[in-house]
C-alpha cells in the first residue's frame, strides 16, 4: 500500500478525490489517498498546492517526493523544510487552455477586434488587417506552455519568435536566448506574450528599458506571472501610447485591488487569472505516472531544478 497525502485548498479535494483514485487504479497502483495521516512518517508521497494547509514538511521524513498541482513553484522554493524532490505540474489540459487563451487574444489584437466590438456610434470603420504572416508575435518563455503557444501561433500563420534563458529549437519558430537575443526579439515584436517562470532573474523583466525596445504601438499579453512586469513602467508606457494595449491575467496581488490603476485604464484588459488551470483528470494522470515511475525506480518527470528556480 502506497500512502499519498493530499494537501490543497478544501475545494480541490472535491475536484481531485475521484480523479486521483481513477488515475491510480488505471496505473495499477495500490494507493491509500487521504488528507490526513496520524503519523507523518507513514506518508510516501505528498500531492500539494502552495495554498494547502501544510507549510512545514519536515515531519514527512520518509516521503519520496512532493508533487505540485501548480505549474509555478516560486512560492514553494523558499520553504526551507521542503527538502524532498519536488515535481512541478506539466498538464496537457493546462497547456491546451493556455494555448487557447494566448491565440484568442493574439487574434483579437491582430484583427483589431476591439475597434469594432467596443465601438460606439454609427461610424463605418472600414479596415482590413494584414495577414498573420505579416504580424510578429514574440513569446518570452519556451517551456511546456510557451512552446505549445509558439507552435499554435505558427500554425495560425504568425511570424513567431521565442526567447528563453538557454537556447531552444522549435520548428518554424525563430528562437533567441541571452541578453542580446532578448533585445533583438523585442525590437521586432508587435504582440508580446509573457510565459516565463518567476525567478529572481525574471522579476520585472518587462521594465522601462525593455518596454522601450518594443516598437511603438506594441501590445502585451501576460498570462504568466504578475511580477514579470514593473507595473509603474507599464502604466507609463500605456499612458504615452508607446504600448497600445495590455491584456493582463496575473497580478502581484490577487484579486487585483479595486483601487489599482489598471482598472481605470481604457487600454488595459483584465482577466481574473483564468487564462488556464490545471485540470483534475489530466493532472491526476501525471501524478499517478510519477508515483508509478518512482516505485519502479525510474526518474520522476518534471523535477524542479532548484538552482534555476523552476
Active site residues: 225, 273
Cβ contacts of 173 within 8 Å, gap of 6 or more? 150, 151, 154, 160, 161, 162
In contact, 201 and 180? CB cutoff 8 Å: no
Cell (9 digits) for 92: 496537457
Amino acid at each position: 500500500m502506497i500512502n499519498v497525502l493530499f494537501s490543497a485548498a478544501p475545494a480541490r479535494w472535491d475536484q481531485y478525490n475521484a480523479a486521483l483514485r481513477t488515475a491510480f487504479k488505471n496505473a495499477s497502483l495500490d494507493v491509500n489517498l487521504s488528507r490526513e495521516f496520524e503519523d507523518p512518517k507513514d506518508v510516501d508521497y505528498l500531492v500539494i498546492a502552495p495554498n494547502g494547509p501544510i507549510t512545514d514538511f519536515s515531519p514527512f521524513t520518509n516521503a519520496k517526493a512532493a508533487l505540485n498541482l501548480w505549474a509555478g513553484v516560486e512560492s514553494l522554493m523558499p520553504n526551507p523544510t521542503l527538502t524532498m524532490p519536488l515535481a512541478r505540474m506539466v498538464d496537457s489540459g493546462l497547456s491546451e487552455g493556455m494555448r487557447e487563451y494566448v491565440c484568442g487574444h493574439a487574434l483579437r489584437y491582430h484583427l483589431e477586434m476591439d475597434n469594432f466590438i467596443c465601438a460606439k456610434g454609427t461610424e463605418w470603420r472600414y479596415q482590413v488587417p494584414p495577414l498573420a504572416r505579416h504580424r510578429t508575435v514574440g513569446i518570452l518563455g519556451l517551456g511546456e506552455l510557451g512552446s505549445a503557444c509558439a507552435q499554435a501561433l505558427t500554425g495560425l500563420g504568425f511570424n513567431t519568435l521565442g526567447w528563453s534563458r538557454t537556447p531552444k529549437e522549435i520548428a518554424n519558430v525563430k528562437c533567441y536566448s541571452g541578453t542580446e537575443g532578448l533585445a533583438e526579439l523585442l525590437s521586432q515584436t508587435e504582440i508580446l506574450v509573457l510565459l516565463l517562470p518567476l525567478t529572481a532573474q525574471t522579476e520585472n523583466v518587462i521594465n522601462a528599458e525593455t518596454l522601450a525596445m518594443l516598437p511603438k504601438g506594441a501590445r502585451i499579453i501576460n498570462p504568466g506571472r504578475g511580477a514579470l512586469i514593473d507595473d509603474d513602467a507599464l502604466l507609463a508606457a500605456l499612458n504615452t501610447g508607446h504600448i497600445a494595449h495590455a491584456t493582463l491575467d496575473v497580478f502581484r496581488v490577487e484579486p487585483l485591488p479595486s483601487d489599482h490603476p489598471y482598472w481605470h485604464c481604457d487600454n488595459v484588459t483584465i482577466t481574473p487569472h483564468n487564462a488556464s488551470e490545471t485540470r483534475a483528470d489530466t493532472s491526476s494522470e501525471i501524478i499517478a505516472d510519477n508515483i508509478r515511475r518512482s516505485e519502479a525506480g525510474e526518474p520522476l518527470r518534471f523535477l524542479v531544478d532548484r538552482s534555476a528556480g523552476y
